[in-house]
Amino acid sequence: MRLSRYFLPVLKENPAEAQIVSHRLMLRAGMIKQAQAGIYSWLPLGFKVLRKLENIVHEEQMRAGHIPMLMPTLQSADLWRESGRYDDYGEEMLRITDRHGRDMLYGPTNEELITDIFRSHVSSYKDLPMTLYHIQWKFRDEIRPRFGVMRGREFYMKDGYNFDLTKEDALHAYNRHLVSYLRTYERMGLQAIPMRADGGPIGGDYTHEFLVLAETGESEVFYDSEVTDLSFGDRAIDYDSVEQCQAVLEEFTSRYARTDETHDEALFNEVPEDRRRVARGIEVGQIFYFGTKYSEAMGATVQDRDGKPVPVHMGSHGIGVSRLLGAIIEASHDDKGIIWPEGVTPFHAGIVNLKQGDEEADAACETLYAALEAAGLEPLYDDRNERAGGKFATMDLIGLPWRITVGPRGLKNGVVELTSRRTGESEEMPPEEAVKKLVKIYEGHLVKGL
Ligand code: P5A
Protein backbone atom coordinates (compact mmCIF):
# COMPACT_ATOMS: atom_id res chain seq x y z
CA MET A 1 0.00 0.00 0.00
CA ARG A 2 1.17 3.52 -0.81
CA LEU A 3 0.43 5.95 1.95
CA SER A 4 -0.50 8.66 -0.58
CA ARG A 5 -3.42 6.46 -1.67
CA TYR A 6 -4.41 5.08 1.72
CA PHE A 7 -6.85 6.46 4.25
CA LEU A 8 -4.91 6.89 7.47
CA PRO A 9 -6.38 9.82 9.39
CA VAL A 10 -3.78 10.11 12.18
CA LEU A 11 -4.38 12.65 14.92
CA LYS A 12 -1.62 14.99 16.10
CA GLU A 13 -3.23 15.74 19.43
CA ASN A 14 -4.18 13.38 22.21
CA PRO A 15 -7.95 12.94 22.13
CA ALA A 16 -9.40 14.15 25.42
CA GLU A 17 -11.98 11.38 25.71
CA ALA A 18 -9.43 8.55 25.84
CA GLN A 19 -8.48 7.51 29.37
CA ILE A 20 -6.19 4.58 28.59
CA VAL A 21 -3.25 4.27 26.26
CA SER A 22 -4.74 1.70 23.85
CA HIS A 23 -7.83 3.82 23.26
CA ARG A 24 -5.69 6.90 22.77
CA LEU A 25 -3.35 5.18 20.33
CA MET A 26 -6.14 3.56 18.33
CA LEU A 27 -7.73 6.97 17.83
CA ARG A 28 -4.42 8.69 17.10
CA ALA A 29 -3.33 6.01 14.64
CA GLY A 30 -6.58 6.42 12.72
CA MET A 31 -7.77 2.88 13.45
CA ILE A 32 -11.24 3.57 14.81
CA LYS A 33 -13.76 6.36 15.07
CA GLN A 34 -16.49 6.44 17.64
CA ALA A 35 -19.94 6.36 16.06
CA GLN A 36 -21.89 6.40 19.33
CA ALA A 37 -20.98 5.53 22.90
CA GLY A 38 -19.40 2.06 22.78
CA ILE A 39 -19.94 1.72 19.01
CA TYR A 40 -17.08 2.19 16.57
CA SER A 41 -16.37 2.38 12.88
CA TRP A 42 -13.29 0.40 11.98
CA LEU A 43 -11.15 2.58 9.74
CA PRO A 44 -8.86 0.80 7.26
CA LEU A 45 -5.87 0.29 9.57
CA GLY A 46 -8.02 -0.96 12.47
CA PHE A 47 -10.04 -3.15 10.16
CA LYS A 48 -6.87 -4.69 8.76
CA VAL A 49 -5.68 -5.76 12.21
CA LEU A 50 -9.16 -6.95 13.17
CA ARG A 51 -9.22 -9.21 10.10
CA LYS A 52 -5.79 -10.63 10.93
CA LEU A 53 -6.87 -11.46 14.46
CA GLU A 54 -10.02 -13.02 13.08
CA ASN A 55 -7.98 -15.14 10.67
CA ILE A 56 -5.70 -16.38 13.45
CA VAL A 57 -8.77 -17.34 15.45
CA HIS A 58 -10.21 -19.22 12.46
CA GLU A 59 -6.96 -21.06 11.80
CA GLU A 60 -6.62 -22.19 15.39
CA GLN A 61 -10.28 -23.17 15.75
CA MET A 62 -10.20 -25.23 12.59
CA ARG A 63 -6.93 -26.82 13.68
CA ALA A 64 -8.75 -27.98 16.83
CA GLY A 65 -11.48 -29.56 14.67
CA HIS A 66 -14.15 -26.92 15.27
CA ILE A 67 -16.53 -26.05 12.45
CA PRO A 68 -16.99 -22.43 11.25
CA MET A 69 -20.41 -21.05 10.37
CA LEU A 70 -22.32 -17.77 10.68
CA MET A 71 -25.43 -16.88 12.63
CA PRO A 72 -27.32 -13.58 12.42
CA THR A 73 -26.99 -10.69 14.84
CA LEU A 74 -30.77 -10.34 15.31
CA GLN A 75 -32.50 -13.10 17.20
CA SER A 76 -36.05 -13.99 18.10
CA ALA A 77 -37.09 -13.32 21.69
CA ASP A 78 -39.07 -16.58 21.69
CA LEU A 79 -35.95 -18.72 21.78
CA TRP A 80 -34.74 -16.79 24.81
CA ARG A 81 -38.10 -17.28 26.48
CA GLU A 82 -37.58 -21.03 26.10
CA SER A 83 -34.30 -20.92 27.99
CA GLY A 84 -35.69 -18.49 30.54
CA ARG A 85 -33.00 -15.91 29.79
CA TYR A 86 -35.22 -13.34 28.10
CA ASP A 87 -36.26 -11.95 31.45
CA ASP A 88 -33.05 -12.81 33.29
CA TYR A 89 -30.68 -10.97 30.96
CA GLY A 90 -31.92 -7.58 32.06
CA GLU A 91 -31.04 -4.18 30.64
CA GLU A 92 -27.86 -5.29 28.94
CA MET A 93 -29.99 -6.83 26.21
CA LEU A 94 -31.00 -4.55 23.36
CA ARG A 95 -34.63 -5.35 22.63
CA ILE A 96 -36.24 -4.47 19.32
CA THR A 97 -39.74 -4.87 17.90
CA ASP A 98 -40.31 -5.40 14.19
CA ARG A 99 -43.22 -3.96 12.15
CA HIS A 100 -45.36 -7.00 12.99
CA GLY A 101 -44.90 -6.42 16.68
CA ARG A 102 -42.57 -9.41 17.08
CA ASP A 103 -40.04 -9.17 19.87
CA MET A 104 -36.47 -9.47 18.70
CA LEU A 105 -33.09 -8.74 20.20
CA TYR A 106 -29.57 -7.98 19.07
CA GLY A 107 -27.69 -11.07 20.24
CA PRO A 108 -25.41 -10.61 23.25
CA THR A 109 -24.40 -14.31 22.86
CA ASN A 110 -25.78 -17.31 20.96
CA GLU A 111 -26.43 -20.30 23.21
CA GLU A 112 -30.15 -20.33 22.35
CA LEU A 113 -29.76 -19.85 18.60
CA ILE A 114 -27.16 -22.59 18.25
CA THR A 115 -29.14 -24.98 20.47
CA ASP A 116 -32.14 -24.43 18.20
CA ILE A 117 -30.04 -25.25 15.12
CA PHE A 118 -28.69 -28.33 16.81
CA ARG A 119 -32.06 -29.69 17.93
CA SER A 120 -33.50 -29.19 14.43
CA HIS A 121 -30.86 -31.27 12.70
CA VAL A 122 -29.09 -33.64 15.05
CA SER A 123 -30.79 -36.58 16.72
CA SER A 124 -28.17 -39.29 17.17
CA TYR A 125 -25.11 -39.69 19.33
CA LYS A 126 -23.35 -40.82 16.15
CA ASP A 127 -23.13 -37.19 15.01
CA LEU A 128 -21.25 -36.25 18.18
CA PRO A 129 -18.89 -34.83 19.25
CA MET A 130 -19.56 -31.56 17.44
CA THR A 131 -18.28 -28.04 18.00
CA LEU A 132 -19.68 -25.19 15.91
CA TYR A 133 -18.44 -21.64 16.09
CA HIS A 134 -18.75 -18.28 14.42
CA ILE A 135 -17.23 -14.82 14.64
CA GLN A 136 -19.97 -12.25 14.73
CA TRP A 137 -20.90 -8.87 16.16
CA LYS A 138 -22.60 -8.86 19.52
CA PHE A 139 -24.42 -6.14 21.39
CA ARG A 140 -24.50 -5.63 25.13
CA ASP A 141 -25.96 -2.40 26.37
CA GLU A 142 -23.17 -1.97 28.92
CA ILE A 143 -24.02 0.60 31.56
CA ARG A 144 -20.50 2.06 31.30
CA PRO A 145 -19.02 1.51 27.85
CA ARG A 146 -15.44 2.78 28.08
CA PHE A 147 -11.83 2.41 27.08
CA GLY A 148 -12.66 2.26 23.38
CA VAL A 149 -13.00 -1.23 21.96
CA MET A 150 -12.11 -2.69 25.33
CA ARG A 151 -15.62 -2.39 26.73
CA GLY A 152 -17.82 -1.65 23.78
CA ARG A 153 -21.55 -2.03 23.40
CA GLU A 154 -21.17 -3.46 19.91
CA PHE A 155 -18.18 -5.79 19.82
CA TYR A 156 -16.80 -8.66 17.78
CA MET A 157 -16.70 -12.07 19.41
CA LYS A 158 -15.72 -15.54 18.42
CA ASP A 159 -18.21 -17.83 20.10
CA GLY A 160 -18.10 -21.59 19.91
CA TYR A 161 -20.46 -24.24 21.25
CA ASN A 162 -19.73 -27.90 21.88
CA PHE A 163 -22.32 -30.69 21.87
CA ASP A 164 -21.36 -33.97 23.49
CA LEU A 165 -23.02 -37.17 24.65
CA THR A 166 -21.41 -37.31 28.07
CA LYS A 167 -19.93 -34.99 30.64
CA GLU A 168 -16.50 -36.58 30.06
CA ASP A 169 -16.69 -35.80 26.33
CA ALA A 170 -17.80 -32.23 27.06
CA LEU A 171 -14.88 -31.77 29.44
CA HIS A 172 -12.55 -32.90 26.68
CA ALA A 173 -14.11 -30.23 24.46
CA TYR A 174 -13.47 -27.74 27.26
CA ASN A 175 -9.81 -28.77 27.44
CA ARG A 176 -9.49 -28.64 23.65
CA HIS A 177 -10.71 -25.06 23.76
CA LEU A 178 -8.27 -24.19 26.50
CA VAL A 179 -5.36 -25.50 24.41
CA SER A 180 -6.53 -23.79 21.21
CA TYR A 181 -6.93 -20.50 23.10
CA LEU A 182 -3.40 -20.71 24.52
CA ARG A 183 -2.08 -21.15 20.98
CA THR A 184 -4.28 -18.36 19.63
CA TYR A 185 -3.16 -15.72 22.14
CA GLU A 186 0.50 -16.66 21.86
CA ARG A 187 0.35 -16.23 18.09
CA MET A 188 -0.91 -12.71 18.78
CA GLY A 189 2.13 -12.04 20.94
CA LEU A 190 0.08 -12.17 24.15
CA GLN A 191 0.37 -14.06 27.38
CA ALA A 192 -3.21 -14.78 28.45
CA ILE A 193 -3.44 -16.68 31.73
CA PRO A 194 -6.40 -19.00 32.36
CA MET A 195 -7.97 -18.18 35.73
CA ARG A 196 -10.91 -19.72 37.60
CA ALA A 197 -13.87 -17.41 37.20
CA ASP A 198 -17.61 -17.06 37.63
CA GLY A 199 -20.27 -18.27 35.16
CA GLY A 200 -22.35 -15.06 35.28
CA PRO A 201 -25.36 -14.91 32.95
CA ILE A 202 -23.97 -17.67 30.70
CA GLY A 203 -24.16 -20.18 33.54
CA GLY A 204 -22.22 -23.17 34.79
CA ASP A 205 -19.77 -23.27 37.64
CA TYR A 206 -16.85 -24.67 35.69
CA THR A 207 -15.31 -21.83 33.80
CA HIS A 208 -11.97 -20.13 33.16
CA GLU A 209 -11.30 -16.62 31.97
CA PHE A 210 -8.15 -15.79 30.00
CA LEU A 211 -6.47 -12.69 31.34
CA VAL A 212 -3.76 -10.48 29.96
CA LEU A 213 -2.03 -8.75 32.86
CA ALA A 214 -2.24 -4.96 32.51
CA GLU A 215 -2.55 -2.10 34.96
CA THR A 216 -5.54 -0.78 33.05
CA GLY A 217 -7.35 -4.13 33.16
CA GLU A 218 -10.88 -4.09 34.55
CA SER A 219 -10.57 -7.33 36.53
CA GLU A 220 -8.75 -7.78 39.80
CA VAL A 221 -6.77 -11.02 39.78
CA PHE A 222 -4.91 -13.10 42.34
CA TYR A 223 -2.29 -15.60 41.25
CA ASP A 224 0.81 -17.61 41.96
CA SER A 225 3.64 -15.89 40.06
CA GLU A 226 4.70 -19.26 38.65
CA VAL A 227 1.79 -19.11 36.18
CA THR A 228 3.58 -16.32 34.34
CA ASP A 229 6.49 -18.66 33.56
CA LEU A 230 4.31 -20.96 31.47
CA SER A 231 4.08 -20.86 27.71
CA PHE A 232 2.59 -23.26 25.23
CA GLY A 233 5.15 -22.60 22.51
CA ASP A 234 5.09 -24.56 19.29
CA ARG A 235 4.72 -28.00 20.81
CA ALA A 236 2.71 -30.52 18.82
CA ILE A 237 -0.69 -31.44 20.19
CA ASP A 238 -3.20 -34.06 19.12
CA TYR A 239 -6.56 -32.40 19.77
CA ASP A 240 -8.27 -35.80 19.75
CA SER A 241 -6.09 -37.05 22.57
CA VAL A 242 -7.98 -36.77 25.86
CA GLU A 243 -4.75 -37.33 27.81
CA GLN A 244 -2.74 -34.68 25.99
CA CYS A 245 -5.40 -32.00 26.32
CA GLN A 246 -6.02 -32.89 29.97
CA ALA A 247 -2.28 -32.65 30.67
CA VAL A 248 -2.17 -29.12 29.22
CA LEU A 249 -5.17 -28.09 31.32
CA GLU A 250 -3.47 -29.42 34.44
CA GLU A 251 -0.18 -27.74 33.60
CA PHE A 252 -1.83 -24.36 33.07
CA THR A 253 -4.52 -24.39 35.77
CA SER A 254 -3.15 -26.30 38.74
CA ARG A 255 -1.54 -23.24 40.35
CA TYR A 256 -3.61 -20.61 42.09
CA ALA A 257 -5.01 -18.08 39.59
CA ARG A 258 -8.45 -16.59 40.14
CA THR A 259 -10.45 -13.48 39.40
CA ASP A 260 -11.94 -11.57 42.33
CA GLU A 261 -15.34 -13.26 41.84
CA THR A 262 -13.97 -16.66 42.85
CA HIS A 263 -11.00 -15.54 44.94
CA ASP A 264 -10.49 -17.61 48.09
CA GLU A 265 -8.21 -15.91 50.60
CA ALA A 266 -7.49 -19.10 52.58
CA LEU A 267 -6.41 -21.02 49.47
CA PHE A 268 -4.39 -18.05 48.24
CA ASN A 269 -2.52 -17.97 51.53
CA GLU A 270 -1.27 -21.49 50.84
CA VAL A 271 0.81 -20.04 47.97
CA PRO A 272 4.31 -19.15 49.28
CA GLU A 273 4.21 -15.47 50.18
CA ASP A 274 6.93 -14.38 47.75
CA ARG A 275 4.92 -15.82 44.85
CA ARG A 276 1.54 -14.28 45.74
CA ARG A 277 0.50 -11.59 43.30
CA VAL A 278 -2.50 -9.25 43.25
CA ALA A 279 -2.82 -7.41 39.96
CA ARG A 280 -5.19 -6.34 37.24
CA GLY A 281 -6.01 -8.06 33.99
CA ILE A 282 -7.92 -7.72 30.72
CA GLU A 283 -10.33 -10.57 30.05
CA VAL A 284 -9.75 -11.63 26.46
CA GLY A 285 -11.71 -14.87 26.53
CA GLN A 286 -13.75 -17.25 28.62
CA ILE A 287 -14.64 -20.94 28.38
CA PHE A 288 -17.61 -22.59 30.06
CA TYR A 289 -18.94 -26.06 30.74
CA PHE A 290 -22.61 -25.80 31.69
CA GLY A 291 -23.83 -29.35 31.15
CA THR A 292 -27.47 -29.67 30.14
CA LYS A 293 -28.67 -26.18 31.13
CA TYR A 294 -29.80 -25.19 27.62
CA SER A 295 -30.35 -28.64 26.13
CA GLU A 296 -32.85 -29.59 28.84
CA ALA A 297 -34.70 -26.28 28.72
CA MET A 298 -34.90 -26.36 24.92
CA GLY A 299 -35.29 -30.09 24.29
CA ALA A 300 -31.97 -30.68 22.54
CA THR A 301 -31.66 -34.42 22.92
CA VAL A 302 -29.96 -37.20 21.01
CA GLN A 303 -30.55 -40.92 21.06
CA ASP A 304 -27.79 -42.63 23.00
CA ARG A 305 -26.35 -46.07 22.22
CA ASP A 306 -29.48 -47.75 23.66
CA GLY A 307 -31.84 -45.59 21.61
CA LYS A 308 -32.82 -43.56 24.68
CA PRO A 309 -33.20 -39.76 24.22
CA VAL A 310 -30.76 -37.86 26.45
CA PRO A 311 -30.04 -34.13 26.67
CA VAL A 312 -26.64 -33.23 25.26
CA HIS A 313 -23.83 -31.84 27.38
CA MET A 314 -22.74 -28.41 26.25
CA GLY A 315 -20.25 -25.67 26.81
CA SER A 316 -19.58 -22.32 25.17
CA HIS A 317 -16.31 -20.58 24.53
CA GLY A 318 -15.68 -16.96 23.67
CA ILE A 319 -12.83 -14.78 22.47
CA GLY A 320 -13.21 -11.00 22.53
CA VAL A 321 -11.76 -10.39 19.07
CA SER A 322 -12.30 -6.61 18.97
CA ARG A 323 -11.18 -6.23 22.61
CA LEU A 324 -7.96 -8.02 21.67
CA LEU A 325 -6.76 -5.00 19.70
CA GLY A 326 -6.88 -2.94 22.86
CA ALA A 327 -5.26 -5.69 24.91
CA ILE A 328 -2.38 -6.12 22.45
CA ILE A 329 -1.71 -2.38 22.43
CA GLU A 330 -1.87 -2.15 26.23
CA ALA A 331 0.75 -4.91 26.33
CA SER A 332 2.93 -3.56 23.52
CA HIS A 333 3.55 0.17 23.10
CA ASP A 334 5.93 2.94 24.09
CA ASP A 335 5.63 6.70 24.32
CA LYS A 336 5.89 7.06 20.53
CA GLY A 337 3.05 4.70 19.72
CA ILE A 338 2.03 1.14 19.08
CA ILE A 339 4.51 -1.73 18.65
CA TRP A 340 2.72 -4.53 16.82
CA PRO A 341 3.86 -8.10 17.40
CA GLU A 342 4.95 -9.61 14.06
CA GLY A 343 2.01 -12.04 14.04
CA VAL A 344 -0.67 -9.34 13.88
CA THR A 345 0.94 -6.26 12.36
CA PRO A 346 -1.25 -4.57 9.71
CA PHE A 347 1.76 -4.08 7.39
CA HIS A 348 4.99 -5.99 7.69
CA ALA A 349 7.36 -3.12 7.02
CA GLY A 350 7.21 0.59 6.39
CA ILE A 351 9.28 2.11 3.61
CA VAL A 352 10.30 5.70 4.28
CA ASN A 353 11.60 7.67 1.32
CA LEU A 354 13.76 10.46 2.74
CA LYS A 355 13.75 12.43 -0.49
CA GLN A 356 10.56 12.02 -2.42
CA GLY A 357 11.10 13.19 -6.00
CA ASP A 358 14.77 12.21 -6.06
CA GLU A 359 15.00 9.91 -9.04
CA GLU A 360 17.30 7.39 -7.46
CA ALA A 361 15.52 7.30 -4.10
CA ASP A 362 12.11 6.93 -5.76
CA ALA A 363 13.35 4.11 -7.97
CA ALA A 364 14.98 2.27 -5.05
CA CYS A 365 11.72 2.52 -3.06
CA GLU A 366 9.70 1.19 -5.98
CA THR A 367 12.06 -1.77 -6.37
CA LEU A 368 11.92 -2.53 -2.65
CA TYR A 369 8.16 -2.24 -2.63
CA ALA A 370 7.81 -4.66 -5.53
CA ALA A 371 10.31 -7.11 -4.04
CA LEU A 372 8.53 -7.19 -0.66
CA GLU A 373 5.16 -7.74 -2.33
CA ALA A 374 6.60 -10.47 -4.55
CA ALA A 375 7.86 -12.18 -1.37
CA GLY A 376 4.30 -12.23 -0.01
CA LEU A 377 4.84 -9.40 2.48
CA GLU A 378 2.70 -6.27 2.82
CA PRO A 379 4.78 -3.09 2.77
CA LEU A 380 3.46 0.37 3.56
CA TYR A 381 5.37 2.89 1.46
CA ASP A 382 5.33 6.46 2.72
CA ASP A 383 5.59 8.16 -0.66
CA ARG A 384 4.22 11.50 0.48
CA ASN A 385 6.07 14.77 0.10
CA GLU A 386 6.63 15.18 3.82
CA ARG A 387 9.54 15.90 6.08
CA ALA A 388 11.47 12.82 7.20
CA GLY A 389 10.65 13.61 10.84
CA GLY A 390 6.92 13.53 10.14
CA LYS A 391 7.24 10.26 8.24
CA PHE A 392 9.17 8.64 11.10
CA ALA A 393 6.62 9.85 13.65
CA THR A 394 3.75 8.33 11.66
CA MET A 395 5.56 5.00 11.30
CA ASP A 396 6.33 4.94 15.03
CA LEU A 397 2.74 5.82 15.91
CA ILE A 398 1.14 3.10 13.79
CA GLY A 399 3.69 0.63 15.12
CA LEU A 400 4.97 -1.41 12.17
CA PRO A 401 7.67 -3.69 13.62
CA TRP A 402 10.19 -2.89 10.83
CA ARG A 403 11.07 0.20 8.86
CA ILE A 404 13.29 0.53 5.82
CA THR A 405 14.69 4.01 5.35
CA VAL A 406 15.82 4.94 1.86
CA GLY A 407 17.78 8.10 1.09
CA PRO A 408 20.23 9.43 -1.52
CA ARG A 409 23.17 9.32 0.89
CA GLY A 410 22.81 5.63 1.70
CA LEU A 411 22.07 4.71 -1.87
CA LYS A 412 25.43 6.17 -2.91
CA ASN A 413 26.97 3.36 -0.85
CA GLY A 414 24.37 0.86 -2.07
CA VAL A 415 22.61 0.59 1.30
CA VAL A 416 19.31 1.25 3.00
CA GLU A 417 18.61 1.20 6.73
CA LEU A 418 16.53 -1.48 8.47
CA THR A 419 15.19 -0.39 11.86
CA SER A 420 13.43 -2.40 14.53
CA ARG A 421 10.49 -0.56 16.07
CA ARG A 422 10.86 -2.50 19.31
CA THR A 423 14.58 -1.94 19.99
CA GLY A 424 15.14 1.16 17.87
CA GLU A 425 18.29 -0.47 16.50
CA SER A 426 19.23 0.19 12.89
CA GLU A 427 21.41 -1.71 10.49
CA GLU A 428 22.62 -0.67 7.06
CA MET A 429 22.50 -3.23 4.28
CA PRO A 430 21.85 -3.54 0.55
CA PRO A 431 18.11 -3.45 -0.25
CA GLU A 432 18.04 -7.13 -1.31
CA GLU A 433 19.51 -8.08 2.08
CA ALA A 434 16.75 -6.16 3.86
CA VAL A 435 14.11 -8.05 1.88
CA LYS A 436 15.75 -11.38 2.68
CA LYS A 437 15.98 -10.53 6.34
CA LEU A 438 12.31 -9.55 6.53
CA VAL A 439 11.23 -12.72 4.73
CA LYS A 440 13.12 -14.72 7.35
CA ILE A 441 11.68 -12.72 10.26
CA TYR A 442 8.12 -13.29 9.08
CA GLU A 443 8.54 -16.99 8.35
CA GLY A 444 5.70 -18.72 10.19
CA HIS A 445 4.05 -15.37 11.04
CA LEU A 446 2.30 -14.63 7.77
CA VAL A 447 -1.41 -14.17 8.29
CA LYS A 448 -3.72 -13.11 5.54
CA GLY A 449 -5.39 -9.76 5.96
CA LEU A 450 -7.17 -7.42 3.62
C1 P5A B 1 -18.89 -17.74 25.53
C2 P5A B 1 -19.16 -17.60 24.09
C3 P5A B 1 -19.85 -15.63 26.50
O4 P5A B 1 -20.60 -14.79 26.06
N5 P5A B 1 -21.14 -17.27 25.28
C6 P5A B 1 -20.63 -17.47 23.95
C7 P5A B 1 -20.06 -17.12 26.22
N8 P5A B 1 -18.78 -15.33 27.27
S9 P5A B 1 -18.35 -13.86 27.72
O10 P5A B 1 -17.25 -14.04 28.64
O11 P5A B 1 -19.46 -13.14 28.22
O12 P5A B 1 -17.82 -13.11 26.46
C13 P5A B 1 -16.73 -13.63 25.73
C14 P5A B 1 -15.64 -12.60 25.55
O15 P5A B 1 -16.15 -11.47 24.86
C16 P5A B 1 -15.46 -10.32 25.27
N17 P5A B 1 -16.41 -9.27 25.70
C18 P5A B 1 -16.36 -7.98 25.30
N19 P5A B 1 -15.52 -7.33 24.48
C20 P5A B 1 -15.71 -6.02 24.26
N21 P5A B 1 -16.71 -5.31 24.85
C22 P5A B 1 -17.58 -5.92 25.69
N23 P5A B 1 -18.58 -5.22 26.23
C24 P5A B 1 -17.43 -7.32 25.95
N25 P5A B 1 -18.09 -8.23 26.70
C26 P5A B 1 -17.46 -9.40 26.55
C27 P5A B 1 -14.54 -10.70 26.41
O28 P5A B 1 -13.24 -10.88 25.91
C29 P5A B 1 -15.12 -12.02 26.86
O30 P5A B 1 -14.15 -12.87 27.42
Summarised one tens digit per residue, pLDDT across range 378-392 is 999 999 999 999 999
133, 67 contact by CB (below 8 A): yes
* Terminal Cα distance for the chain, rounded: 11
Domain extents for the chain? 12-337, 347-441
Q: What is the mean pLDDT of residues 269-278?
A: 98
Is the pLDDT at 449 greater than 80, yes or no?
Answer: no
**Cα 323 to averaged position of ligand 1 atoms, centre (Å):** 9
C-alpha to C-alpha distance for 396 and 388, rounded to whole angstroms? 12
With a 6 Å cutoff on the Cβ, whether 323 touches ligand 1 is yes
Mean pLDDT (whole number) for 251-276: 97
347 touches 421 (CB < 8 A): no
Give the residues across from 302 on adjacent strands: 310
Give residue 141's identity as a one-letter amino acid code. D
Question: Rounded to the nearest whole angstrom, what is the distance from the C-alpha of residue 363 to the centroid of ligand 1?
Answer: 49
CB of 96 closer than 8 Å to CB of 104: yes
Whose CA is closest to 239, among 118, 129, 115?
Answer: 129
**Could you report the per-residue pLDDT of 170-215, keeping only the tens digit for each?**
999 999 999 999 999 999 999 999 999 999 888 888 999 999 999 9
413 alpha carbon to ligand 1 midpoint, in Å? 54
On the question of a cis peptide bond just before residue 201, with omega within 30 degrees of 0, the verdict is no
* pTM exceeds 0.85, yes or no: yes
For ligand 1, say whether the CB of 142 is within 6 Å of any of its atoms. Answer: yes
Q: Is the CB of 316 under 6 A from ligand 1?
A: yes
Q: Is 202 in the pocket of ligand 1 (CB under 6 A)?
A: yes
Checking if the pLDDT of 126 tops 80, the result is yes
List the one residue out of 293, 304, 299 whose CA is nearest residue 127: 304
Ligand 1 lined by 154 (C-beta under 6 Å) = no
Q: Reply yes or no on whether the pLDDT at 325 is more than 90.
A: yes
- Among 194, 101, 92, residue whose Cα is nearest residue 144: 92
Q: What is the spatial distance between Cα 367 and Cα 403, in angstroms, rounded to a whole number?
A: 15
CA distance 39 to 404: 36
Q: Is ligand 1 within 6 A of the CB of residue 133?
A: no
**Residue 286: predicted pLDDT:** 98
Contact 340, 392 (CB under 8 A): no
Considering only CA atoms, which residue is closest to atom 4 of ligand 1? 109
Say if residues 96 and 106 touch (Cβ distance below 8 Å): yes
Q: Is the pLDDT of residue 161 over 90?
A: yes
Share above pLDDT 90 across residues of the chain, in percent, rounded to a whole number: 97
Q: Is the pLDDT of residue 369 over 90?
A: yes
Nearest protein Cα to ligand 1, atom 14:
320
Distance CA 96, CA 101 (A): 9
Residue nearest to atom 30 of ligand 1 (CA): 285
DSSP secondary structure of 225-279: GGGGG---TT----TT-HHHHHHHHHHHHSS-EEETTT--HHHHTTS-GGGEEEE
Q: Which atom of ligand 1 is nearest to the CA of 158?
A: 2
Q: Is 159 in the pocket of ligand 1 (CB under 6 A)?
A: yes
Say which CATH architecture domain 12-337 belongs to: 2-Layer Sandwich (3.30)
> Measured in angstroms, how far is the CA atom of residue 93 from the centroid of ligand 1?
14
Ligand 1 within 6 A of CB of 287: no
> Tell me: the pLDDT tens digits for 30-89?
999 999 999 999 999 999 999 999 999 999 999 999 999 999 999 999 999 999 999 999
> For a pocket test of ligand 1, which of 69, 286, 316 has the largest count of ligand atoms closer than 8 A to its C-beta?
286
- Is the C-beta atom of 290 inside 6 A of ligand 1? no
Taking CA atoms only, the protein residue closest to ligand 1 atom 16 is 320
Q: What angle do CA 87, 92, 94 make, to 5 degrees?
A: 85
Task: List the one residue out of 439, 322, 300, 374 whose CA is nearest residue 53.
Answer: 322
**pLDDT classification of 448: cutoffs 50, 70, 90:** confident
- Give dist(CA 100, CA 77) in Å, integer: 14
- Rounded to the nearest whole angstrom, what is the distance from the C-alpha of residue 285 to the centroid of ligand 1? 7
Mutate to test the pocket of ligand 1, among 157, 180, 323 (most ligand atoms within 8 A of CB): 157
- Given a contact cutoff of 8 angstroms between Cβ atoms, the answer to whether 88 and 267 are in contact is no
In a 13 Å sphere around the CA of 291, the CA atoms on its Cβ side amount to: 8
What pLDDT, on the 0 to 100 scale, is given for residue 428?
A: 98
Q: How far is the CA of 249 from the centre of ligand 1 (A)?
A: 21
Q: What is the pLDDT of residues 292-310, one digit of tens each?
A: 999 999 999 999 999 999 9
Q: What class does CATH assign to 347-441?
A: alpha beta
The pLDDT confidence band at residue 148, using thresholds 50, 70 and 90, is very high
Residues in the chain: 450
What are the DSSP calls for 399-447, one per residue? T-SEEEEE-HHHHHTT-EEEEETTT--EEEE-HHHHHHHHHHHTTT---
Q: Is the distance from the beta carbon of residue 313 to the nearest atom of ligand 1 less than 6 Å? A: no
Mean pLDDT of the chain: 97
| pLDDT tens digits, one per residue of 230-252 | 999 999 999 999 999 999 999 99
Cα 247 to middle of ligand 1, angstroms: 26
**Segment holding 22, helix H or strand E:** helix 21-28
Q: Tell me the best of 106, 140, 181, 323 to mutate to test the pocket of ligand 1, counting ligand atoms within 8 Å of each CB and taking the most.
A: 323
